[in-house]
Every structure is written in structure tokens, then in C-alpha cells.
């Protein structure tokens, strides 16, 4: 399987700031023939470098928005803020 790195980045850019599923993002960028791309290791590693799906709110956030204080896993700044109940 050959993947287009620019298009993989496009999926990350598309997902960021949304709460759609990974599959929806892939089909929006690549079309419906990209079924299974979410299981492609190379694709996932590119995606993981750019965005993550927050375990708290379910929104896709950039890696620069990941919370690092007092939390573990993929939690965004907003969900990781202890004052934000």
C-alpha cells in the first residue's frame, strides 16, 4: 500500500478542531475508497505526530494542545485544567 504523505497530513488538518470519527475524516479527504487507512501503521504514525483525539471531550486537538500537567493519556488542555469541572 502506498500512501500520500501530503494527504495524510491533510487528514490531520481536517480532523483538528472537529469531533468527527477518524473514518469520517479519512473519507472526507481521501474518498470512500480509502477504507482501512485508519489501520495503516504509517498513516497512523503521521496522524499521531499531528493530532490526537481527546479522551475527555472526544475532540481532535493538535499535539501542542495536549495537557501535560497532572494527567496521563491523551487529554487536551481544556479537559486537563483542574479548574474546569
**Residue ranges binding Zn ion (CB under 5 A):** 54, 56-57, 76, 79
With respect to Zn ion, which residue has the nearer C-beta, 8 or 65? 65
Pairs from 19-24 (Cβ < 8 Å, separation ≥ 24): 19/57, 19/58, 19/59, 19/60, 20/60, 22/47, 22/53
With respect to Zn ion, which residue has the nearer C-beta, 19 or 35? 19
How near is the Cβ of 17 to Zn ion at its closest, in Å? Answer: 12
With respect to Zn ion, which residue has the nearer C-beta, 34 or 76? 76
Amino acid at each position: 500500500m502506498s500512501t500520500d504523505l501530503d494527504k495524510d497530513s491533510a487528514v490531520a488538518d481536517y480532523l483538528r478542531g472537529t469531533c468527527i470519527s477518524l473514518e469520517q475524516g479519512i473519507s472526507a479527504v481521501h474518498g470512500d475508497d480509502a477504507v482501512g487507512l485508519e489501520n495503516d501503521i504509517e498513516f497512523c504514525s503521521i496522524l499521531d505526530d499531528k493530532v490526537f483525539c481527546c479522551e475527555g471531550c472526544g475532540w481532535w486537538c493538535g499535539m501542542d494542545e495536549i495537557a501535560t500537567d497532572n494527567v496521563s493519556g491523551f487529554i487536551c488542555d481544556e479537559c486537563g485544567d483542574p479548574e474546569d469541572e
